Amino acid sequence: MNRRLTPCWFFFSFLLLASLSAVAQDSAYTNKNALPEIGVVASDAISLDKEMIVGDAVMRQMRGQSPVIGDPVLTEYLQDLGNRLVVHAENAKFPFEFFWVDNDAINAFAFFGGHIGVHTGLMRRAETESELASVLAHEISHVTQRHIARKMQAQKRSSPLAIASLIGGMLIAIANPEAGMAAMQAGSAASAQMQIDYTRTNEQEADRIGISMLARAGFDVKGAADFFSTMAEQYRMASRPPARLLTHPLTETRIADARARAADYPSRRVMPSLQFELAKSRVKARYSFEPDYAVDYYKAELDKKAYKIKDAALYGLALAYMRNEDNQKALDIMRNVLLKNDPDNLFYLDAATDIFIALGEPLKAVELLTPHVALNPRNQVLALNQANALISASRYDEAISLLKDFLLVNKEHQIAYQLMSEAYQKDKRFSQMHQSKAEVYALYGAYTRAVDELQYAYNFAGEDHLQKQRIRARIKQFRDQEERLQRL
């Protein structure tokens, strides 16, 4: 299952800039005689509470940009990998959220409140799970060490608007590092600060802490140096540096330091990861390659046995067949080989669901998923695929019930709300449809549009006074959230 998030900027960019300016004012006018809170890095620049609020605001805007991928299988993998590292992180103050950006640049980034994005291009070029984990560990370290807040603290003598301009450039760089560089150079605070993200000291600190985290989590500590070498090779072969090098400058000294730090830890042989190889195949087949090329690529890989794990290559070929609408060939691979070998694998269950729906046989998907959903009803891959299959089979009440249960513990899952809206629309329950759409807009930070949807929902509610009362209460909540951002 895969859903791309719809662009939805509206007025929210203004609100975000206003919030950053407000945070900057707090920083600029802090009482110079006040002592910082002991034990919390950069707490006098921006509090943890404000950092989480701003991080949530940025993430809502990121969700509304088309490069952000709504892919439950890839998200589940990335979040699981990230969590395996976070449990070994020191000073983790936030529940981390990891997400994908559909961009072929070699890049990853972190911002306020424990949000970490990874470009598909980075995944495509990582050779091992330890290399990918090394990048995540580095970004987690930027967050736990609060490097953005510390940069703000260093800029306390600048004007509030200058600080807001600096941070605004950082946030632009999330999706486009070169544009972020231009934005920062245009600001008065940027002329003496050419790097986008962090100082050289911050980079060294993130490298040191990240490699230590990598070792504690059981990965190959050489992954960091190996990936640095990959980036350096890209730089030598390209007319301009990879995107990640614009935000994370790479020197021979930094590569040597990474190798020296790795030598301080015992050598560990890590076997190839099936989940990593499946995620990499999914990125290539669905996001990086053209459909015809993807088929040829995976056929050649299988013919030459140029794979690390054969099942991952077969999975890539099945996805490539799906994109070419050759669903029967995809089903043959999925049912006769992959699911036969590994019937509980979420990557395979997701693909099989899409194939059955494409073939007009959604009830076969429902039958396939039902025992798995019964064991793990809150898993996003299983629940969302089952809901999608039920909607395709016109079993709307069952889909809605499943989604409501899922949303009880996943309150901000936009795909679940999108599916809920689709089910209500097809079932001609228009008041509930508009309420679900309102939740999607709110997750994009577009509160004005969310309120508009609730107004439509109110008009469709008829004589249902209890529902009208709930809608009025939700409108008030959205308006309060918008005002809270403006007061930040």
| Residues tagged in the binding site annotation | 138, 142, 203
Q: Choosing from 139, 257, 301, 482, which is the catalytic residue?
A: 139
Beta bridge partners of 111: 115
Angle at 420 between CA 418 and CA 421, to 5 degrees: 65
In angstroms, the Cα distances linking 95 to 38, 52, 266 are 22, 10, 30
H or E stretch at 116? strand 115-119
Any catalytic annotation for residue 139? Answer: yes
End-to-end CA distance of the chain: 37
In angstroms, the Cα distances linking 420 to 60, 72, 412, 435 are 19, 16, 13, 10
Q: Give the relative orientation of helices 447-460 and 430-443 as an angle to the nearest 10 degrees.
A: 170
Tokens for 184, please give them.
Answer: 């920062």
Residue 215's identity, in one-letter code, is A
Residue 412's identity, in one-letter code, is E
Alpha helices (runs of H) in 70-128, residue ranges in sequence order: 72-86, 120-125
Q: Is the dihedral of CA 416, 421, 424, 426 positive or negative?
A: negative
Q: Check: CB of residue 248 under 8 Å from CB of residue 142.
A: no
Q: Choosing from 207, 257, 301, 311, which is the catalytic residue?
A: 207
Any catalytic annotation for residue 127? Answer: no
Which parts are annotated binding residues for Zn(2+)?
138, 142, 203
C-alpha–C-alpha distance, residues 459 and 448, integer Å: 17
Q: Check: CB of residue 82 under 8 Å from CB of residue 115.
A: no
Q: How many other CB atoms are found less than 10 A from the CB of residue 195? A: 17
Q: Is the dihedral of CA 166, 170, 175, 180 positive or negative?
A: positive
Tokens for 114, please give them.
Answer: 């424990």
Tokens for 125, please give them.
Answer: 């070029």
H or E stretch at 70? strand 69-70
List of residues 6+ apart from 300 with CB closer than 8 A: 306
C-alpha–C-alpha distance, residues 286 and 319, integer Å: 7
C-alpha–C-alpha distance, residues 221 and 28, integer Å: 40
Angle at 24 between CA 20 and CA 27, to 5 degrees: 145
Tell me the backbone φ, ψ of residue 111, rounded to 5 degrees.
Answer: -145, -175
- The residues annotated as belonging to the active site are 139, 207
